Amino acid sequence: MGFVDSVKEIAEKVGDTVDKGIKTGSDSYKKMTEKSRLKKEIGRLTFETNNIYIGIGKKIFAEQPDSQQFKSQFDNIREKEREIERLNELLSDLEDKIPCPQCGELVTKDARFCDKCGTKIVRPEKKAEHVAAEKVTVCRKCGAELVDAARFCDKCGAKLDE
């Protein structure tokens, strides 16, 4: 056996090993991809099932709010809802937002309309004596409170008289 024949034999063995490695890698990749697909489908179906359970629970809570069978759970829900409401109020204060009177979505305190449902945001008028007592400067054009030393209204852009 000559040198060339020896090199051919080694090359064939290397080629066979590479082919086997590629086939094994390809099979592993296919298996991994299928496992991932199955896990994703299981997660999706579990999520949908849990949403159905949640819907059933909400329906029972709405239709039988005084149910003795679920009294402790319902009391717990009511307590959590009160805490959520309290925390939402704190958050809206920090974000300078107020709830829309129609849909409850938070809108900026200076919004005139809700950006979700279009409802006009009505605020109580400030009493003149209250404004005068606090010496708050307001824009003559839009009525917004002005920052001290402002030359233009930051809400409507009107130039302020000196």
Same domain for 128 and 117: no
Same domain for 52 and 12: yes
C-alpha 122/C-alpha 95 separation (Å) is 19
Per-position pLDDT tens, the chain of length 162: 678 788 788 888 888 888 887 878 788 888 899 999 999 999 999 999 999 999 999 999 999 999 999 999 999 999 999 999 899 888 888 888 888 889 988 888 888 899 889 999 887 665 554 444 455 677 888 878 877 777 778 788 888 775
Same domain for 111 and 82: yes
Same domain for 105 and 87: yes
Number of Cβ within 10 Å of residue 107's Cβ equals 20
Same domain for 141 and 100: no
Same domain for 116 and 142: no
CA dihedral (68, 72, 76, 82) positive or negative: positive
Query: What is the tally of structural domains in the chain?
Result: 3
Q: Report CA-CA distances (Å) from 29 to 20, 32, 36, 100, 142.
A: 14, 5, 10, 52, 66
Q: Give the domain extent around 23.
A: 1-63
Which two tokens mark 25? Answer: 């890698």
At residue 131, the pLDDT reads: 44
At residue 136, the pLDDT reads: 64
Same domain for 55 and 15: yes
At 113, give phi and psi (nearest 5°).
Answer: -140, 150
Same domain for 133 and 162: yes
Q: What distance lies between CA 78 and its chain's CA centroid?
A: 23
Same domain for 134 and 98: no
At residue 135, the pLDDT reads: 59
Same domain for 59 and 11: yes
- The pTM score is 0.46
Same domain for 73 and 100: yes
